[in-house]
Amino acid sequence: MSDFFSSFWGWYVAAISLISMLACLVLLWLTSKKRISSDTDNTTGHVWDGDLRELNNPLPRWWMWLFVITILFSLVYVALYPGLGTFSGMWKWTSDSAYTTERAQLKQAVSPLFAEFATQPVENIMHDQRAMAMGERLFMNNCAQCHGSDARGSKGFPNLTDQDWLYGNSTEQIIETITKGRNGVMPSMATAVGSEAEISDLAHYVMSLSGSPHDGLKASAGKKSFSACAACHGADGKGNTALGAPNLTDNVWLHGWGENTIVGIIKNGKNNAMPAQEGKLTAEQIRVLAAYILSLSNSAVNKNTALK
């Protein structure tokens, strides 16, 4: 109710709620006073299948008292908890306070489980099966919604099992990413590049850096325009982890590839945000989660090495 712009609506909701409850009580009382006339056949006049008649009997007493109990319960409930407009209830309960309390209780319960990993090197945690099991659960609860249950991501969401890291894959960098979140911003470069034709040429040059299919003549013409991109992506196009600028030479396309897609990004820019997890997870949990994420990438490297 806090978003109401007038106190009238709070009173309106409270009045409607109370009137409805009291009206149910009055209705039950009136129906309980009704008596069946002895000079009638006690039917409603409705007949089905030739001889099936609907009787007009009153509610059973136990059923009526059950209704009364539910109404009384409702009155007690709205007195104790928020339910009458802006009235906060005698117990002053709020969903925020309940959430905060439950989180504090959960944190107290799980802290001993993660305490032993607080000072261990991440490289050691990666080889602890119990820590990896906890890291997997943390990942499923907090990261899988964007990166997928297999951590391979999707369009716009990075694959965490390969070796392409926008902000670097050192222990400190991954912990910082999880803790503080990231906000990757590429501004629109249309003005800096020039005409539509020049933007198209630049797109083909960008594709040529990774060996993707491209038009060689257009790529040659677009090379000079790449100077507008070199400040972030580097003169060689290999990116900059300090800025989160992608490596354009590795054939990993976070937002899709092809001339139309790249032209759209050059013209409109791109903004990707990862929310910070420091308000949800403790430092120890983040450390275990970072170890689990690193283990996914290292497992992929080891698998590829074995295949070779």
**pLDDT, tens digit, for every residue of 77-128?**
999 999 888 888 999 999 999 988 998 898 888 889 899 899 899 999 999 9
Look at residue 85 and tell me if it is in a domain.
Answer: no
Closest CA relative to residue 265, chosen from 275, 252, 256: 256
Same-domain pairing of 198 and 263: yes
Look at residue 22 and tell me if it is in a domain.
Answer: yes
pLDDT for residue 275 is more than 60: yes
Same-domain pairing of 288 and 141: yes
User: Would you say the pTM of this structure is higher than 0.75?
Assistant: no
Same-domain pairing of 46 and 156: no
Look at residue 88 and tell me if it is in a domain.
Answer: no
pLDDT score for 305 = 39
Same-domain pairing of 160 and 291: yes
pLDDT for residue 174 is more than 70: yes
Look at residue 69 and tell me if it is in a domain.
Answer: yes
Number of domains in the chain: 3
Boundaries of domain holding 19: 7-34+41-80
**Predicted confidence (pLDDT) per residue in 219-254, tens digit:** 999 999 999 999 999 999 999 999 999 999 998 999
**What is the overall mean pLDDT for the chain?**
89
28 exposure class (CB count in 10 Å sphere: 0-12, 13-18, 19+): middle
Same-domain pairing of 123 and 158: yes
Report whether 189 contacts 266 (CB < 8 A): yes
Helix (H, G, I), strand (E, B) or coil at 227: helix
221 exposure class (CB count in 10 Å sphere: 0-12, 13-18, 19+): middle
> How confident is residue 3, by pLDDT bands cut at 50, 70 and 90?
low
Q: Which helix (H) or strand (E) holds 153?
A: none
Same-domain pairing of 267 and 286: no
